[in-house]
A and B are shown apart, each in its own frame.
Chain A
Amino acid sequence: MRMRIQELAESADIIVTTYAMLKDDKTTFNRIKWDRVVLDEMQEIRSSTTDHARACEKLLCDCRWMVSGTPLYTSIDDLNGELAFLGVLPFCASDQSDGFWSMHVSKPFQRRKPEALQQLNCLLKGIMIRHSKSQTYVDGASILDLPESSTRRVPVEMTDSEKYLYQCKFRGVMLGVCFRVLAPL
């Protein structure tokens, strides 16, 4: 597997992999110097202490991108863990080792101090690009041109084993119902 990944890395322009795969084969992935690494759904690594986050952080690369529709999954502190991948010091340093984030961003933000927002603005302006569906190109065309959605219901024939399982479940449920109905009598 390792050899295949390395061969693939040299021959392919783009490689799509999963977080689980990256974690399992981190030694292989770490031995490749990537031009660019893109993390989709970056909230997956919102805690910088998880194995997934550590595996991503150790990747050798020139450019690091993160993509997400929900960068703040639970709280503002998610950003702290996510920035660890980008290496935006001192914002990415964990509170266990540093305390900068907690002192200057997290706690002021919780106390609803305007300085916290200013700092976050200052940080995010430099590292974040936000796109929305309403955005257009210079010529006025929408950046997201989706066709009309259409829904079609296609009945699927169950296989033998699926039928077997279904029948078992069905009988179980029917028995349960019968007992409940008959029990008061």
Chain B
Amino acid sequence: MLCPFTLICVADVFRLVLMAEMGLGKTIEILALILSTKKARGSARSQPSKVQERLQEAKGGLKAAQGTNPLKGGNDEQWTGEWGTTSENDTAQTIAAKCSKARGVKVLPSFIVHLNSLAFPSLTIKMRFRKGTSIRLREPDAAGVGDVSSRTRKQRIKEEDVHEGLGGGAPAPEAMLEDGPDASAAGLQHGAAGDGVVPLDAYGRVVAQGGTLIVVPVHLVSQWLCEIEKAAGSALSVTKYTADNKLFRRCALTAGGASLEAYAYNAFKCCAFLTNFTACRSQGVRWLGGRVPRAGGAHAHANPGAC
């Protein structure tokens, strides 16, 4: 898990920068405000450069964080004893991926850009993970070459040293949000396919790798199939998986639940004014093919032609 203090710092800065972009203030002023607030906690030194200042503040923050239990109320036995750390060669994207994985936070390209622009030169983000979890981080995509987020932090530090300004290398906020390639390279959701994140669940179990999942309302399923077929330009091989058993069970369980028409062709004739299986069963109505099935029982369709 990411050291909470650091995360809060980064998140606060990110938010304030975002607010500043939206005309709520000036980025530089807000950043300066944050730094001055932190400076009051740490040891004041004689006028360091802004980059050095930020380094000091980051270190101060980490020290403060080390002194506190990052898992307030948590049980340490659930966590690995060792803290993972980021290295200086990590790109902002990699760090963001770690943050994302550790906190379950989705990372935006603008966040990555700002992580770069904040430029904590040797900021060590300390992390630890739940036991049994393994996270493998990917190298930046080829598509990300040239993107701010794909440069290593060492490169950024060199550039920052040249600029010596707050957020000197960051693109204009409007451009950043509008920039499509940046968004795709950085990945709205931390990366594209083959991003190196091993498909493990929270307990470290391997999960399947799927293609595209389309979630639609029930009445649009057939339309989507047609649209996909049209787009594919050829007939599709369609496999339908239905949850008949589950529906059937629920039907029997829930009073006022699903109507009879899906399963009970003959039920209309047998009990035309009853609305569900529960009502049928409570009145002792029998199916022609047997009793109305019990909850969780076998899948017993009525015989449509027997009535």
Using a CB–CB cutoff of 8 Å, the interface residues on chain A facing chain B are 1, 4-6, 8-10, 12-22, 24-25, 29-41, 44, 56, 59-64, 86-90, 100, 104, 115, 118-119, 122-123, 125-127, 160-162, 164-165, 168
Chain A nearest CB from B200 CB (Å) reads: 9
B269 touches A60 (CB 8 A): no
Contacts of B307 in A (CB 8 A): 160-161
**19 A-B contact pairs sorted by A residue (CB < 8 Å):** A9-B209, A10-B208, A14-B212, A15-B210, A17-B213, A31-B207, A32-B199, A32-B213, A33-B210, A35-B193, A38-B212, A38-B215, A40-B216, A59-B213, A60-B199, A63-B187, A86-B106, A87-B106, A161-B265
Chain A CB within 8 A of B44 CB: no
**Are A16's CB and B217's CB within 8 A?**
no
Contact with A along B180-194 (1 / 0, CB 8 A): 000100011111110
Q: Closest B residue to A17 by CB, please name it.
A: B215
**B63 lies within 8 A of chain A by Cβ:** no
Are the CB atoms of A39 and B212 closer together than 8 Å? no
Is there an interface contact between A37 and B215, defined as CB atoms closer than 8 Å?
yes
Interface residues of B in 144-185 (CB under 8 A from A): 173-174, 176-178, 183
Nearest 5 CB-CB pairings of A with B: A87-B106, A126-B177, A9-B210, A33-B199, A31-B207
From residue 89 to 129 of chain B, which have CB atoms closer than 8 A to chain A? 105-108, 110-111
- Whether B189 contacts A122 by the Cβ 8 Å rule is no
The residues of B that contact A5 with a CB separation of less than 8 Å are 241
Partner of A88, one of B15, B108, B272: B108
CB distance from A42 to the nearest CB of B (A): 10
Chain A residues closer than 8 Å to B178, beta-carbon distance: 125-126
Asked if residues A41 and B217 are in contact (CB atoms below 8 Å), the reply is yes
- Confirm or deny: B268 has a beta carbon within 8 angstroms of a beta carbon on chain A: yes
Interface segment among B20-28, B29-37, B64-72: the answer is B20-28
- A12-B228 Cα distance, complex, nearest whole Å: 13
Complex CA gap A62/B111 in Å reads 17
Knowing A19-B217, A33-B209, A40-B217, the reply to whether A14 touches B22 (Cβ < 8 A) is no
CA distance A88 to B189 in the complex (A): 10
Cα distance A90–B215 in the bound complex, in angstroms? 25
Chain A residues within 8 Å of B216, by CB:
16-19, 40-41
Give the one of A35, A40, A126 with max B CB within 10 A. Answer: A126
Interface residues of B (CB under 8 A from A): 15, 18-19, 21-24, 105-108, 110-111, 173-174, 176-178, 183, 187-193, 195, 197, 199, 201, 205, 207-218, 220-221, 224-225, 228, 239, 241, 243, 245-246, 265-266, 268-269, 272-273, 307
CA separation between A165 and B275, bound complex, in Å? 13
Q: Is the CB of B212 within 8 A of A165?
A: no
Shortest Cβ distance from A124 into B: residue = B177
Tell whether, in the assembled complex, residue B205 and residue A31 are in contact, meaning their CB atoms are under 8 Å apart. Answer: yes
B266 to chain A, nearest CB (A): 7
> A4 CA to B105 CA in the complex, in Å?
30
Q: How far is the CA of A115 from the CA of B192 in the complex (A)?
A: 34
How far is the CB of B179 from the nearest CB of chain A, in Å?
8
A31 x B201 contact (CB < 8 A): yes
Contact in complex: A32, B191 (CB < 8 Å):
no
**How far apart sit A6 and B211, CA to CA, in the bound complex (Å)?**
11
Give A126 to B178 CA distance when docked, in angstroms: 5
